Amino acid sequence: MLKIQANMKGYMGKPATVLGAMDEETGILVIVKSVAAIPRFEDSFLIAADQHGDRDSLFSDGDLASAIGGYFKLKGSVAEDGVTACLRFRELAATADPAAVIEHDGVDVGGPKYRIAPDASNAHIATLAICAYAARQCAIGDTLDMADSITDLMAMMDGRVVTIGAVD
């Protein structure tokens, strides 16, 4: 279980901390709690907007598009069991769900475009930052799984060459 914390400031309201946990095996991200800003919680991975403070990853306005993409990717996905949503909010974090502050703003050649409502809170943005990080972790995990599969296939072939394609 990967503990993820996002400390955000510079948006609507007081600085906020959102705490989440991700099961790396299933890809399920649970947003656990939203509170007033706190220092690093236990051994969590810390995402922050403060360039000079304690952090493992810096989040800036330039990361918003990928963060929204990560949010919708997780929100629209289910775990391997085919039932469990990949993005879940506990009751103590319900106010940090950014669904109400993300506005669809059309589509261009780069894909969907979104706008953030002016009343988006620091907690909303912190949740988006966590979703961006979780989506990247899922992509890394998928890549490593693919590499393991290729390694297993190479071991099964035991040095033999396989040709794929039409044979005359």
- What's the pLDDT score for residue 81? 82
- For 18-70, the pLDDT digits (tens) are 999 999 888 899 999 999 999 998 899 999 998 888 899 999 999 999 899 99
18 assigned to some structural domain: yes
167 assigned to some structural domain: no
Closest CA to 117 of 63, 58, 64: 64
Per-residue pLDDT band for 165 (boundaries 50, 70, 90) equals low
Distances (CA, A) of 81 to 20, 22, 73, 156: 21, 16, 17, 29
- What's the pLDDT score for residue 139? 47
8 assigned to some structural domain: yes
105, 115 Cβ separation under 8 angstroms: yes
15 assigned to some structural domain: yes
50 assigned to some structural domain: yes
Closest CA to 30 of 76, 80, 93, 73: 93
pTM of the model: 0.80
14 assigned to some structural domain: yes
- Give CA–CA dist 167/80, Å, rounded: 38
Domain count, the chain: 1
Q: Lowest-confidence range among 69-83, 110-124, 148-162? A: 148-162
CATH number at residue 83: 3.30.420
113 assigned to some structural domain: yes
165 assigned to some structural domain: no
Residues of the domain holding 76: 2-157
Question: What integer best gives the mean pLDDT of the chain?
Answer: 86
